[in-house]
Amino acid sequence: MNMVELLEKKKLGFTLSPEEIDYFVSGSTKGGIPDYQIAAMLMAIRIMGMNREETSQLTLAMTRSGDQVDLSALAGIPADKHSTGGVGDTTTLILVPLVAACGVPVAKMSGRGLGHTGGTLDKLESIPGFRIELGMEQFMAQVGEIGCAVIGQSGDLAPADKVFYSLRDVTATVDSLPLIAGSIMSKKLASGAQAIVLDVKTGTGAIMQTLTESIELAQAMVRIGEDAGRRMVALVTDMGEPLGSHIGNALEVKEAMDVLAGRVRGPLLSVSLELGGWMLVLGGVAGSMAEAKAKLEEALASGAGLKTLARMISAQGGDARCCDDTSMLPQARVIADVPAISNGFVQDMDATELGNTAQGMGAGRRQKTDVIDYSVGFVLHKRIGDAVEVGETIATVHAKNEADARSAAKRIQEAVHIGAEETPPSKLVYAVVTGEGVHRL
């Protein structure tokens, strides 16, 4: 096969065969195809697109490019959940133990944060002693005994994605639906889960900022999963404002523990129940969403979800006492309130700017080598639609010094837009996407 011929074919909009896609992915991974030809193909895909069959074949080839986890030894149907990334999105820390407590095994491999969205591994590592690196045998044994584990992704998981990802940012091909879907789903398929629930964000803090684009991405990923024989559902959820009120690693862990302890309800729990409900349905322990949500609420009320989280933390070397005493989590040196600068109603928020504010305080990375400060971040006290009086506290910053606290306060005041007109609260879930179609809510 000749790479120039493949480039010519895709450049003119023709469909690549499964064999041609395999050749491209294999050559890219093993070094047989130079970066300039890989970049040219990525641009051809970005401009000309791919049909369903091509997108599925690309993803499957990327999945086969490295290790594939076999979870067949686990009892039941192993489930996983993936979010396309957002601010204050702490659902994984709630869902993993809560779903496991309801009888569906969750063997999860997660990534670190880069940019304005937080990574699950970084949040978990804010728990004193928590280890994200487990051998596969230990990983499987823990899921079999406790029902869940969260570890870092293997270095050999979908290596083709790493090759493509390193080039997409510098070749202006990040915003390609087939490449985004392939990147996400190749890692999910390689991780071995048989039931996958996707949380596709839409809004100012999301990778896809319009509802139409978000639904298209959800549909593409559901089709890929179903073509690979997996049970699939995607929810399109709001990221026009942070989902949780806490932004920052230790702060988000605290909020998740507060939710599991029954101390806090609100949008974060509501979305978690929607996602978790589908995990139970696809995992075969509930026949309907109503039954699934009832099981999740029961696990919350009984404390079973929090107990499962504590067992997971202990099994992975962490100090589980922080589940009962969240003050044992890293604490910032400076804590300061942020006052509103005008009267009115919170009309909207720049969620990306809020995420960037936390990143600038040290809660996130600009580069992979950056060191995270687990203690810093902020807590929002207002949501879209809330009434505000001048001088009223709209947020509380947790910073490493006074200068960072002042800078973050100013950025938060600018990102939270207050106006005279009353504004309705944001919708949490916009659509449910299955293989049968799109159900708009």
* Cβ contacts of 165 within 8 Å, gap of 6 or more: 183
Instruction: Please state, rounded to an integer, the average pLDDT across all residues of the chain.
Output: 94
Give me 125's structure tokens: 């590592």
Q: Which amino acid is at 263?
A: R
Q: Single out the catalytic residue among 183, 186, 245, 272.
A: 183
Question: Distance between CA atoms of 218 and 438, rounded to whole angstroms?
Answer: 9
* CB 386, CB 346: distance < 8 Å: yes
Q: Single out the catalytic residue among 112, 116, 168, 201.
A: 168
Residues of the chain with CATH 3.40.1030.10: 79-156+193-324+429-440
pLDDT per residue over 332-342, tens digit each?
Answer: 999 999 999 99
Question: Distance between CA atoms of 74 and 435, rounded to whole angstroms?
Answer: 26
Give me 297's structure tokens: 């609420």
Q: How confident is the model at residue 175 (pLDDT cuts 50, 70, 90)?
A: confident
Q: What is the DSSP string of 120-173?
A: HHHHHHTSTT------HHHHHHHHHHHSEEEEEPPTTBSHHHHHHHHHHTTTT-
* CB 240, CB 74: distance < 8 Å: no
Look up the pTM and report it: 0.93
- The answer, yes or no, to whether residue 88 has pLDDT greater than 90, is no
Q: Single out the catalytic residue among 10, 46, 64, 82.
A: 82
Question: Nearest 5°: CA angle at 166, between 69 and 168?
Answer: 110
Q: Single out the catalytic residue among 81, 108, 112, 187.
A: 187
Helix (H) or strand (E) holding 177: helix 177-190
Least confident stretch, 10-14, 53-57, 278-282, 368-372: 368-372
Is 161 part of the annotated catalytic residue set? yes
CA distances from 353 to 140, 214, 281 (A): 39, 20, 36
**Gyration radius of the chain over CA positions:** 22
Per DSSP bridges, beta strands 393-399 and 334-339 are: antiparallel
* CB 332, CB 400: distance < 8 Å: yes
Question: Distance between CA atoms of 51 and 177, rounded to whole angstroms?
Answer: 11
Question: Was domain 79-156+193-324+429-440 assigned CATH 3.40.50.1100?
Answer: no
CA distances from 344 to 363, 384, 390 (A): 30, 11, 8
* Cβ contacts of 357 within 8 Å, gap of 6 or more: 378, 408, 411, 412, 415
CA distances from 33 to 5, 37, 186 (A): 13, 7, 20
Query: What three-state secondary structure class fits 247?
Result: strand
Helix (H) or strand (E) holding 434: strand 429-434
Q: What is the pLDDT of residue 113?
A: 57
Question: Distance between CA atoms of 198 and 221, rounded to whole angstroms?
Answer: 8
* CATH (one of 3.90.1170.30, 3.40.50.2300, 3.60.21.10, 3.40.47.10) for 331-419: 3.90.1170.30
pLDDT per residue over 363-397, tens digit each?
Answer: 987 776 778 899 999 999 999 999 999 999 999 99
Is 199 part of the annotated catalytic residue set? no
pLDDT per residue over 395-429, tens digit each?
Answer: 999 999 999 999 999 999 999 999 999 999 989 99
Q: How confident is the model at residue 279 (pLDDT cuts 50, 70, 90)?
A: very high
Is 321 part of the annotated catalytic residue set? no
Q: Single out the catalytic residue among 22, 122, 161, 227.
A: 161
Question: Distance between CA atoms of 93 and 318, rounded to whole angstroms?
Answer: 14
Residues of the chain with CATH 3.90.1170.30: 331-419
Q: What is the DSSP string of 258-274?
A: HHHTTS--SHHHHHHHH
Question: Distance between CA atoms of 84 and 229, rounded to whole angstroms?
Answer: 21
